[in-house]
Chain A
């Protein structure tokens, strides 16, 4: 069962890490867009 367990851990571990990274990137990008919109609002 060692190989099977390694397979399941590799798949779900990778998907978990990739999803967490994607969420962090998404939040960072959203914050940058929001900051740019606020800066434009300040100029007006």
Chain B
């Protein structure tokens, strides 16, 4: 299966699964005894955080692979992963904030989980920013890899912050023995994680491929510019920007 078909299959399946999640989350599951209607945010918020973690995990793996092999396809994957992570970290913060307003009576708290997630968001933005700086593709990949790995170090801090420090944010929901969620609520939450993972996979393939094409187009344009400059300097005809093609 080529990457285009894989991306389309993941996108269609993801859309269908998330459609089911919306129906279940808004119309089928009931309100919670403690949280009331606001429990419906649990079908989105943990899945957005999971997708953000996945994006940074892929980006960190690809960054290490680039540092070891110097193959540009790893950098394209790292760029895609960190970008998707930035989008979904933002969504995790937004959904958390929307949930926090009616339940904590506050849009924002200097809570360890929220603060470390915000730091993760800014580190992701930092990685995307250094990817835009002037320089060669190798310089871009190296700078990006360093910032991505820095951001990846923050992920365990975000995840375990609710255990390590006194936090307003609720503790783990799934990875605990006395699980407080069950039945249709649990199924809908797990289904949302599956749906978001499928959408994440589709976006990852799409963005990594676009990064590769943009590099190819930029290198083609650079080759033509060098060729024109050479021909201006020598007064001769422009040489092919792609050795071996003429």
A residues with a Cβ closer than 8 A to B are 1, 3-4, 6-8, 10-12, 14-15, 18-19, 22-23, 25-26, 29-30, 32-33, 36, 39-40, 43-44
Task: Decide if A29 touches B98 in the complex (CB within 8 Å).
Answer: no
Give the total of B residues in contact with A, Cβ under 8 Å. 39
Given contacts A3-B38, A3-B102, contact A8 B26 (CB under 8 A): yes
Q: Check if A4 sits within 8 Å of B240, measured CB to CB.
A: no
Beta-carbon contact of B91 and A14 below 8 Å: yes
- Tell me the complex Cα distance, A19–B14, Å: 12
Q: How far is the CA of A26 from the CA of B95 in the complex (A)?
A: 28
| A29 and B213 within 8 A (CB) | yes
Decide if A36 touches B216 in the complex (CB within 8 Å): yes
B239 to chain A, nearest CB (A): 10
CB–CB B217/A3 < 8 A: no
- Answer whether residue B136 sits at the interface, using C-beta atoms and an 8 A cutoff: no
Is the CB of B138 closer than 8 A to any CB of chain A? no
Check B87 against A14 for contact (C-beta < 8 Å): yes
User: Which of B149-157, B164-172, B203-211 contacts the other chain?
Assistant: B203-211
The answer to whether B91 touches A10, judged by C-beta atoms less than 8 angstroms apart, is yes
Residues of A within 8 A of B209 (CB): 26
Structural contact, A7 and B95, CB atoms closer than 8 A: yes
Q: How far is the CB of B195 from chain A (nearest CB, A)?
A: 10
Report if B101 contacts A (CB, 8 A): yes
B71 contacts across to A, CB distance below 8 A: none
Is B28 in contact with chain A by the CB < 8 A criterion? no
